[in-house]
Chain A
Amino acid sequence: MRPFFKSKQGSSQQQGKNEQPSEFNMPEIILSKYLDVNVQMIKEMTGDSSDIIIRRLDQALGKPIHVAVIYTDGLADEQIINNSILKSLTQIQADADSSLDPPKQVLGWIKHRFLAIGQVTDIDTMKNLFDAILAGNTVILVDGTAKGISASSAGGEQRGVDEPQSQTVIRGPREGFTENLRVNTSLIRRKIKNPNLWIVDRTIGRVTQTDVAVMYIHGIASDDVVQEILKRLDRIDIDSVLESGYIEEFIQDATFTPFPTLTNSERPDAIAGAILEGKVAILVDGSPFVLIAPITIFKLFQSSEDYYQKFDIATFLRLMRIIAFVFSMLLPSMYIAITTFHQQMLPTTLLISLAAQREGVPFPAFVEALAMEITFEVLREAGVRMPRAIGSAISIVGALVLGQAAVQAGLVSAAMVIIVAFTAIAGFVAPSVSLSNSARLLRFGFMLLAATLGLFGIIAGLMAMLIHLAGLRSFGIPYLIPLAPFSPSDQKDALVRVPWWAMLKRPTLISKKNIKRLKSIQKPSPSKDEQEQEQ
């Protein structure tokens, strides 16, 4: 519910767009000429925070110049500051002939002659100063000038590039995104070495000032989609962005849907693949989960591994995933419907064995299923929150002891335990967590329908779901592409995956231009010499 209210607030604020109402916005204060004043102001504005380091030098470049070096402890790389900034300032002697006046020139000297650092920019306001030091850069102020320079020195402790935790593959790259935006963009750029890979930056979050980067390939991605995404990003007015989930709820197409209209991935190869298909990636600083838009429902059933494995097994796995998804959504409700409404559908022996299990079970099948499902959801949540050391204990207690004991006590039937267990496992098959979550929620709705109207209830529920899906769009792209609207060439990479050499086109309905992927079908065959030899 929370994002819903927020979006309402956002829209109400749209009217007074220009007047920034926030108290947190940095006032446009121009730097003072006097170093002491500047330093004092910084101290005041940061509340003299201990991690804002202000190093004052009374003599720099061998001359009596008052200089302050300001950076944030932990964000800036101390080694760079020591070796490239402080060393230059303290040890190098300026030429004797250079005059000290005007002090402005000192800044120029430092910038042009002494600093052994790649990226150096001028700053002249307090806002620029804080932006710089909070991004990990080092600011150098010189007494007597109302300007400063910022030298890039970002560093500090960061998590390295690790194997992704949420999406593991057997075959494929082992690297995953980190919390650092620049590392993440570099991971993608390393895969797509093309100047047409464009990045558009936005800063979102009045308090947190989080960097958000939108990445796409100019010339493949649809301009409409890119514009739409940027427009939606610009509309966001929120105090903080701590994870890409914040952004996701603001820019998704429909709030009241169990299905995701944006997906995320932790894998650079998956994102690179999506970008190459004409999609747009949204990277948020501080989150290893990169958003992809637009998406279609069939894309959610695909894993990046599908493209690395042979096409036959990839196709098989895709179909299995869809079946597993259907199972995880419908199995308990089907069980309820068949055992309480349509007993004639079961083979006689199965019916009798189920009936024998149900003898003495005190609850109706629906209550039994609901209780078991809730038990499972609780177990699952406990498994995620538990410290890792106790996790295995929980699974043993939960799965084995609880399930077994419940059956033996005659509280639930064994068949129900099997159904719930299989449903749970089927739920883990979906490559996208957001998709398996939607199945999790819908499951309960279908169970209710099945308990009241049997299979007809399930059919009606499915029909409603289908209408909902057909009406859903993700950034202007119909959700059920390529089945509805149907596109023959896109079938090659939807439910099935054909070999790479036959995938002539990119998904046509997502990127409307430049859809050619291969020049021609390049079916591999033995070279002519070999064939002749064989003959």
Chain B
Amino acid sequence: MLRRLGLMFLLLSVALLTGGCWDSQELNTLSIISATSIDRNNGKWEISFQVVIPQSIATQTGGGSAGSQSPTTIFSTKGRSIAEAMQNASLETSRKLFFAHNSVLILSEEVARQEGVGEILDFFLRPFESRETMSVLLTKGKASNLLEVLIPLEKISGNAIQRIIDLSQKNLSMVQNMRLIDFARMIASPDESAMAPELEVSGDLTKQSSLDALKKTRNEAVIKLGELGIFRKDKLVGWISQKDSSSVAWLSDRVSSMMVVFPCSTKAQKEQLISYRVMKSSTKLEPKVIHGKSIIFAKIQATGAIDEAGCNLDLKQPSVIRELERTISKQIGDDVMTTWSHLQGMNVDLGGFMNAIHRKDPATWRKLMKSKRPIEDISLRVQVKINIEHTNMITKPYSSLLKDQKF
């Protein structure tokens, strides 16, 4: 028996050996893609990949010499479907395109407006290789241009873009890192409008795309986050400004840290400003029906500190602080209301209002959904409560020391 079993295993291993290695691919047969962009061109999809050149990035002396080579290279291919375009890439690359490490997907405005993102999402959610955590971005011009920009300090610009978004999300809370899966979920959700941040190039693009650009101390062009693109169904319907996007962040409870700048007093002639940094915040949406009308009560609470004070105020006095808190609350409240009217105009729901109503009160939600523009039937009441926890390392403003100086 033992011998027969042994024979079986021997046969099996021989079979494995002779036929084996169907799926193995060596590292040096892959081209690792770090960013992808999608454009439309003459009715065809145009896809560009930013491929990492490992030798020029790793400091190890394995293969070629580092430094003289550009860290990434770009391929562009065309096709009737995205998958076809992808297939056509093998006409020009020597290595298999490897998508698992793609961290950024950039869509041009044209694609998002006219074609919609449904097909793109299907393509990126389907294969096993692609990762759902890649960031989705929009751009107003040609998307592949963004792949060409070399980013100072960074070698792989795809990863760098993702880090830019992460950082600005953490510090400014204006843009939100939109993972592919979240984006897909928001597009598919009946109660939510999707959004995606815009990426733009400011400066002279052509000069920043050659390796010489990195030799200069001041960059010719930089990649910057811009406005926020708003989707209805799977199509881009408009943009909202950075200011509006901070209000959206307030409404959708996504503020992690933010700088609020406001005048010391409304009466002062010269514009004197105080900067308040939000450190912790929470927003609660409470849908209610009053007299047959849906009203959302948004309760915003924030705690933070004074980071800069340009005017002469006695910041030691609780009454002064209370006054400041009231000013900040009012400003945030006003901003949010302005943004809300913009959103109502566009008939999009970025604050998750419909979600809130659906979860709390399905009956009202069903009634609202019958309407053609349900967002306009909702009104918003904002209640902001700001707390200034401390004023950092100094109390009174520095300028208060200058007040009594004679010379």
A, B: real partners: yes
A contact residues around B57 at 8 Å (CB): 352-353, 356
Q: Is A531 an interface residue (CB 8 A)?
A: no
Q: Which of A244-271 contact B (CB under 8 A)?
A: 256
Q: Is the CB of A359 within 8 A of B28?
A: yes
Q: Which of B65-101 contact A (CB under 8 A)?
A: 98, 100-101
B contact residues around A454 at 8 Å (CB): 23-24
CB of A255 to closest CB in B, whole Å: 9
Q: Residue A343 contacts which of B2, B17, B30 (CB distance < 8 angstroms)? A: B30
Which of A343, A355, A365, A413 has most B Cβ within 10 Å? A355
CB of B359 to closest CB in A, whole Å: 35
A contact residues around B156 at 8 Å (CB): 348, 352
Q: Residue A344 contacts which of B6, B52, B100 (CB distance < 8 angstroms)? A: B100
Q: Is the CB of B21 within 8 A of A452?
A: yes
Q: Is the CB of A352 within 8 A of B54?
A: yes
Q: Is the CB of A410 within 8 A of B17?
A: no
Q: Is the CB of A414 within 8 A of B60?
A: yes
B contact residues around A360 at 8 Å (CB): 28, 62-64
Q: Is the CB of B23 within 8 A of A353?
A: no
Q: Is the CB of B60 within 8 A of A364?
A: no
> Majority SS of interface residues in chain A?
helix
B contact residues around A355 at 8 Å (CB): 27-28, 30, 32, 54, 58
Q: Which of A350-400 contact B (CB under 8 A)?
A: 351-361, 364-366
Q: Is A451 an interface residue (CB 8 A)?
A: yes
Contact status of A451 and B24, CB under 8 A, knowing A348-B156, A356-B58: yes
CB of B12 to closest CB in A, whole Å: 10
Q: Is the CB of A359 within 8 A of B62?
A: yes
A contact residues around B20 at 8 Å (CB): 451-453
Contact status of A343 and B98, CB under 8 A, knowing A448-B17, A452-B21, A454-B24: yes
Q: Could you give, for residues 116-139 of chain A, a 1 whenever the CB lies within 8 Å of some chain B CB and a 0 otherwise?
A: 000000000000000000000000
CB of B188 to closest CB in A, whole Å: 25
Q: Is B193 an interface residue (CB 8 A)?
A: no
Report the Cα distance A340→B13, complex, angstroms.
Answer: 19
Contact status of A343 and B24, CB under 8 A, knowing A352-B54, A414-B60: no
B155 to chain A: closest residue by CB: A352
Q: Could you give, for residues 144-156 of chain B, a 1 whenever the CB lies within 8 Å of some chain A CB and a 0 otherwise?
A: 0000000000001
Q: Is the CB of A358 within 8 A of B27?
A: yes
Q: Which of B184-233 contact A (CB under 8 A)?
A: none
B159 to chain A: closest residue by CB: A348
Q: Residue B16 contacts which of A341, A358, A361, A453 (CB distance < 8 angstroms)? A: A453
Q: Residue A361 contacts which of B13, B23, B28, B34 (CB distance < 8 angstroms)? A: B28
A contact residues around B23 at 8 Å (CB): 341, 454
Q: Is B265 an interface residue (CB 8 A)?
A: no
Q: Is A145 an interface residue (CB 8 A)?
A: no
A365 to chain B: closest residue by CB: B26
B contact residues around A358 at 8 Å (CB): 26-28, 62-63
B63 to chain A: closest residue by CB: A359
Q: Is B103 an interface residue (CB 8 A)?
A: yes
Q: Which of B296-354 contact A (CB under 8 A)?
A: none
Contact status of A343 and B100, CB under 8 A, knowing A355-B28, A358-B28, A454-B24: yes
Report the Cα distance A30→B28, complex, angstroms.
Answer: 82
Q: Is the CB of A340 within 8 A of B24?
A: yes
B contact residues around A351 at 8 Å (CB): 27, 32, 101
Q: Could you give, for residues 24-52 of chain B, a 1 whenever the CB lies within 8 Å of some chain A CB and a 0 otherwise?
A: 11111010101000000000000000001
CB of A340 to closest CB in B, whole Å: 4
B56 to chain A: closest residue by CB: A356
Contact status of A357 and B60, CB under 8 A, knowing A352-B52, A448-B13: yes
Q: Residue B58 contacts which of A344, A353, A449 (CB distance < 8 angstroms)? A: A353
Q: Which of B108-142 contact A (CB under 8 A)?
A: 129, 131
B contact residues around A408 at 8 Å (CB): 61
Q: Which of A1-27 contact B (CB under 8 A)?
A: none
CB of A333 to closest CB in B, whole Å: 13
Q: Is the CB of B63 within 8 A of A410?
A: yes
Interface residues contributed by chain B, number (CB under 8 Å): 34
B9 to chain A: closest residue by CB: A464
Q: Could you give, for residues 440-467 of chain A, a 1 whenever the CB lies within 8 Å of some chain B CB and a 0 otherwise?
A: 0000000011011110000000000000
Q: Is the CB of A353 within 8 A of B100?
A: no
Q: Is A437 an interface residue (CB 8 A)?
A: no
Q: Is B55 an interface residue (CB 8 A)?
A: yes
A353 to chain B: closest residue by CB: B58
Q: Is the CB of B62 within 8 A of A413?
A: yes
A contact residues around B2 at 8 Å (CB): 256
Q: Is A438 an interface residue (CB 8 A)?
A: no
Report the Cα distance A289→B177, complex, angstroms.
Answer: 65
Q: Could you give, for residues 319-360 of chain A, a 1 whenever the CB lies within 8 Å of some chain B CB and a 0 otherwise?
A: 000000000000000000001110110001001111111111
Q: Which of A387-439 contact B (CB under 8 A)?
A: 408, 410, 413-414
Report the Cα distance A356→B30, complex, angstroms.
Answer: 11
Q: Is the CB of B54 within 8 A of A348?
A: no
B129 to chain A: closest residue by CB: A344
Report the Cα distance A356→B34, complex, angstroms.
Answer: 15
CB of B181 to closest CB in A, whole Å: 16
A contact residues around B159 at 8 Å (CB): 348
A contact residues around B17 at 8 Å (CB): 448, 452
Which of B13, B24, B100 has most A Cβ within 10 Å? B24
Q: Is the CB of B129 within 8 A of A359?
A: no
CB of B26 to closest CB in A, whole Å: 6
Q: Residue B24 contacts which of A256, A341, A357 (CB distance < 8 angstroms)? A: A341
CB of B49 to closest CB in A, whole Å: 15
Q: Is the CB of B34 within 8 A of A340?
A: no
Q: Is the CB of A339 within 8 A of B16?
A: no
CB of B251 to closest CB in A, whole Å: 34
Report the Cα distance A352→B58, complex, angstroms.
Answer: 7
Q: Is the CB of B54 within 8 A of A359?
A: yes
A456 to chain B: closest residue by CB: B23
A contact residues around B34 at 8 Å (CB): 348
B contact residues around A357 at 8 Å (CB): 58, 60, 62-63
Q: Residue B103 contacts which of A343, A348, A451, A453 (CB distance < 8 angstroms)? A: A348
Report the Cα distance A451→B64, complex, angstroms.
Answer: 27
Report the Cα distance A177→B371, complex, angstroms.
Answer: 92
Q: Is the CB of B21 within 8 A of A353?
A: no
Report the Cα distance A361→B52, complex, angstroms.
Answer: 19
A contact residues around B30 at 8 Å (CB): 343, 355
Q: Is the CB of B28 within 8 A of A344?
A: no
Q: Is the CB of B25 within 8 A of A340?
A: yes
Report the Cα distance A93→B182, complex, angstroms.
Answer: 112
Report the Cα distance A361→B28, complex, angstroms.
Answer: 9
CB of B224 to closest CB in A, whole Å: 23
Contact status of A344 and B101, CB under 8 A, knowing A256-B6, A356-B58, A410-B63: yes
A contact residues around B61 at 8 Å (CB): 408
Q: Is the CB of B26 within 8 A of A340?
A: yes
CB of B122 to closest CB in A, whole Å: 20
Q: Which of A40-58 contact B (CB under 8 A)?
A: none
B contact residues around A451 at 8 Å (CB): 20-21, 24
Other CB < 8 Å A-B pairs besides A355-B58, A364-B26, 12 of them? A340-B26, A341-B23, A344-B129, A352-B52, A355-B30, A360-B64, A361-B62, A365-B26, A410-B63, A448-B13, A451-B21, A453-B20
Could you jot down 20 A-B contacts, CB within 8 Å?
A339-B26, A340-B24, A340-B25, A343-B101, A348-B103, A351-B32, A351-B101, A352-B52, A352-B54, A352-B156, A353-B57, A355-B58, A357-B60, A358-B62, A359-B54, A410-B62, A410-B63, A414-B60, A452-B17, A454-B24
**In the A-B complex, the 10 residue pairs with the closest CB atoms:** A359-B63, A344-B100, A356-B58, A452-B20, A356-B54, A357-B62, A355-B54, A360-B63, A340-B24, A358-B27
Residues of A within 8 A of B (CB): 256, 339-341, 343-344, 348, 351-361, 364-366, 408, 410, 413-414, 448-449, 451-454
